[in-house]
Structure 1
Amino acid sequence: MPAVKRLTHAVLLGLVCAAPAVSQAGTLDYTLYAGLEHSNNITLSSDNPISENVLTPGATFQFTQMGSTFQANVAGTLEYRKYLQNHFDSQTQTQIVGQGNWTVMPDRLDFSVEDYAGVQPVDQLSADSPDNQQQTNVFAAGPTLHMRFGDATRGQFELRYINSYASKVDDFDSNRGMAAFRLFRDLTPTDTISGNVEYSDINFKNQPSSANYKREEAYLRYTSQLAHFDADVMLGGTRLNFDEGRDRSSPLLRVQVGWQPTLRNSFAVAGTYQYADAATDIMTTPSVYGLGATDNSSRTEALDPFANTGGLGRGSLSGIGVGSAVIGSQVYKEKRFEANWNWKSERLNITVSPAWNKLQYIDDSTFNQTGKGLSVGVGYRVTPTLTLSGFGTADRLRYDTIDRTDNTVRLGLDLGQQWNRHWSWHASVARERRTSDAVGQSYRETEFFVGVVYRR
């Protein structure tokens, strides 16, 4: 029940905050969907498959506001999963990325709120069956004081309280305090460089004091926002001071670049080299995917529960997919790279997304891992209202210390028809197969889904 209560409070708080903004100048788009999913191996078992039918009503939404006193960009999905054969308890799951900012004193003082909610595995070494899923949430709030040193130079001082929570793994729960000073210089109307210094104090609620640490970072950041090109590059260093006396340091690099050379082609790459724990990763890791899109085509995909089925990994054919983070308190060195290529024509849409990552843990090397993946999606408009989509994902995950390798392949098809401006239907099928060195972790599963969608 704590997870449900926290989710309810978050939704109510969001509605209370958003209501006056919507009435002024905000834009709220949403979809409602409902469907029936069938799995012939809902537990992802290697030797004892269980069939299950799942009722999956849900909703997606995106709210944006760019007013003089309130700015926000919030997007997410809320889904209820009812297991009709009662092999599992019903679940309510949510996935949200949201940022809100209140201007208390123009050009002087702001108050910001951020929230990142998702579904992650309880035990990453086990398959993502319904009883190996949990809700996670990272929440941050605090003031920002702005300073002006000329027409092109400005500074700001930030204070943030950050809370991380997981519904099943207590090791993830923490309270954090962060202070930062940033100095910005506008190079051109579209290019900005900044110097940043950050200090964080991380305290885990259910871990010994030896897990707590201080994080000190200093880095330069360059951002560029052009019509067909954008870049966000951070370069600096990180120092960790654990309460028990250990010190660690590492270079810091985060990169995100997007390019649209033509109306049909777009490219994006993102990479990370840093020290992180699960909560830090959820908040700061750049990605070529995102819920907070603002352009019209991206907004449509963010609101379509079926648009990114191929990239969601194991989970429902609709709505919310299960992530791959190792939820806990451990700190690790992270190296990550993602890329995305998308080509669109009047009838054909192709997306190719390779990815690579390597995690090395400081204290317990059990989860040291190297992952490689490739996702391909193809959509073809058969008629003006009927679209056939196919996807394939292939992932290879190797746990270096325990000498285990998992190879997972997932293939699927989706047929969707737009009845009218508001209503559409979908029918989907997916086949997933994993081969693993670990006993009992290889499996095969086939999923079917039929459903309807109402778009505002």
Structure 2
Amino acid sequence: MPMKYVGASVITAATLAGISADAWAARVDYTVDLGVEDNDNVTLAPFDPIQQRYLRAGLGFTVTENLSALQLSLGGRVEYRDYEDDVFDDTVDGTLSGRMNWIAIPERLFFTVEDNLSVQPVNALAPDAPGNRQQVNVFSLGPTLLFNWSSALRGQAELRYVNSDAEITDEFNSQRIAAALRAIKEFSATSRMSANFQAQRVDFDNDIVARDYNRYDLFARYSRTLAHFELGADLGYSRIDYRQGESRSDPLIRLDAEWNPTSRSQFTAAVASQFSDTATDALRGIEADAPATVPEHVLTGDAIVNASPYEVRSLDLGYQFTSTRTNFSISPYVQKRNYVDSDEFDQKNRGARFDLHWLVRQSLTLGTYATHEKLEYTVLNREDKTTRLGATLRYEWSRHWSLGLLWERYKRESTDLGQDVSQNIVYLSVSYTNR
């Protein structure tokens, strides 16, 4: 991880955790692991794979705080790999995702700071090898003003400064000013409707390869919250105006639902047809709460890191079951994405993720996971099928210390010649957890 990204992450973490002196009372959970990883195709080459055994170390953490004047949720992980024979330079990859909300004036004014640091591909069409990764950071901060017209009608005004920065793909780098006005009508304790107007001015650092634009969203949202069911629906219109005079517009439709038939099971569904872009998706992906567990992996994302907004139509489903000894989840999805500025990466994809964790006995946990995706680049006439299978075994010999064993197989099949790759990884580690 280059020093500027380490510095940005440290500054963000300090901002999120240190604005109020009360933040020193925040709950901090962390895990440190050190071990040896064996990789049978470290360069993800389609032919003549190189096998290596190298040192790997990681630190994962979560920070949470919930005071009357400060709410904080932060999670992240940093990993170091020491490769042999100079196949790759030693790497440091990190992720950070968090939100801080400071209430300056109760029920009137608060300030929000958000940050998302992720690992994304440089070339989305190439395999996920260490030489094809970059750090991408999206940072946002600004005030929100609340005002009341009556006991059932409230108003909200927001202003945000957003900075997006990629380690290698310079066309992504931008400065943004975003503003929003909202009027919220409470029908009852369980239902409400709001009218929303949002505007965003996007200025890219590199005007040669990126086009500056303004985006406007006007929509109404209805939400209803019951004991075991939540529903939200957005309906409106979006418009993108480029400074050169061209414009694009499209309906904005979003629907999300959550059903909890029992205390242990949960069904979710989300449908969307809207404009978006990589920076907006990064901020939208920040969790309202810190992760339930300390992150154990630094995963490479699948974002196309460029300057173009896109029209996206998506359907996401999910089911989760949680019991004393078993956690299970499955989440299928389908998506179609059309880029406004360039159709090279227009795509259709569908896939699913499966996770299962089983407490075999008090000190022994077995986990399995699987992902499968079929990705079709409609203009390039290319189709990639990607499968990832994994299993974990963790033995806790004391309250803080444990041994872990990870096995993972990655396989990609492509209609493009020379793009079929596979990889098997085994990671044996010892870990220390503070709680």
TM category (shorter chain) comes to: over 0.9
Q: Secondary structure at the match of 1:280?
A: helix
Q: Give yes or no for contact 1:22–1:28 (8 Å, CA) kept in 2.
A: no
Give the equivalent residue in structure 2 for 1:333: 311
- Within a 5 Å distance, the mapping from 1:243-258 to structure 2 comes to 243-258=243-258
Tell me if 1:5 matches 2:18: no
Given candidates 375, 395, 398, the residue that maps to 1:397 is 375
How big is the shift at 1:13? 4.3
TM-score, normalized by length of structure 1?
Answer: 0.89
Distance of aligned partners of 1:16 and 1:173 in 2 relative to their CA distance in 1, 3 Å threshold: closer
Give the equivalent residue in structure 2 for 1:387: 365
How big is the shift at 1:119? 0.6
Q: Secondary structure at the match of 2:147?
A: strand
Q: Secondary structure at the match of 1:339?
A: strand
Distance of aligned partners of 1:248 and 1:92 in 2 relative to their CA distance in 1, 3 Å threshold: same
Alignment coverage as a number of residue pairs: 433
Q: More displaced, 246-255 or 103-112? A: 103-112
Find the aligned partners of 1:223 and 1:24 in 2 and give their Cα distance: 36
How big is the shift at 1:415? 1.2
Q: Give yes or no for contact 2:173–2:204 (8 Å, CA) kept in 1.
A: yes
Q: Secondary structure at the match of 1:140?
A: strand
Q: Secondary structure at the match of 2:279?
A: helix
Tell me if 1:106 matches 2:106: yes
Tell me if 1:441 matches 2:382: no
Give the equivalent residue in structure 2 for 1:312: none
Deviations 1:231-282 (A, max 9, x none): 4432221001011111111111233332221133222223321112211222
Q: Give yes or no for contact 2:78–2:93 (8 Å, CA) kept in 1.
A: yes
Give the equivalent residue in structure 2 for 1:95: 95
- Within a 5 Å distance, the mapping from 1:198-237 to structure 2 comes to 198-208=198-208, 211-237=211-237
- Within a 5 Å distance, the mapping from 1:136-175 to structure 2 comes to 136-175=136-175
Q: Secondary structure at the match of 2:390?
A: strand
Aligned identity (percent) is: 34
Distance of aligned partners of 1:34 and 1:260 in 2 relative to their CA distance in 1, 3 Å threshold: farther
Distance of aligned partners of 1:110 and 1:427 in 2 relative to their CA distance in 1, 3 Å threshold: same
Find the aligned partners of 1:455 and 1:292 in 2 and give their Cα distance: 24
Q: Give yes or no for contact 1:25–1:67 (8 Å, CA) kept in 2.
A: no
How big is the shift at 1:384? 2.2
Find the aligned partners of 1:431 and 1:210 in 2 and give their Cα distance: 38
Give the equivalent residue in structure 2 for 1:299: 292
Given candidates 356, 368, 376, the residue that maps to 1:378 is 356
Give the equivalent residue in structure 1 for 2:340: 362
Q: Secondary structure at the match of 1:68?
A: coil
Q: RMSD over aligned Cα, in angstroms?
A: 2.2
Find the aligned partners of 2:358 and 2:24 in 1 and give their Cα distance: 39
How big is the shift at 1:403? 0.8
Deviations 1:171-208 (A, max 9, x none): 11001111111112233334332211011111111133
Structure 1 portions without partners, runs of 5+: 306-318
Q: Give yes or no for contact 2:407–2:424 (8 Å, CA) kept in 1.
A: yes
Find the aligned partners of 1:64 and 1:413 in 2 and give their Cα distance: 29
Give the equivalent residue in structure 2 for 1:115: 115
Q: Give yes or no for contact 1:347–1:381 (8 Å, CA) kept in 2.
A: yes
Distance of aligned partners of 1:190 and 1:400 in 2 relative to their CA distance in 1, 3 Å threshold: same
Find the aligned partners of 1:154 and 1:37 in 2 and give their Cα distance: 55
Tell me if 1:183 matches 2:161: no
How big is the shift at 1:81? 2.6
Residue 95 of structure 1 aligns with an amino acid whose one-letter code is T
Tell me if 1:350 matches 2:349: no
How big is the shift at 1:369? 0.7
Find the aligned partners of 2:409 and 2:6 in 1 and give their Cα distance: 32
Q: Secondary structure at the match of 2:72?
A: strand
Structure 2 portions without partners, runs of 5+: none
Residue 208 of structure 1 aligns with an amino acid whose one-letter code is I
Residue 158 of structure 2 aligns with an amino acid whose one-letter code is E
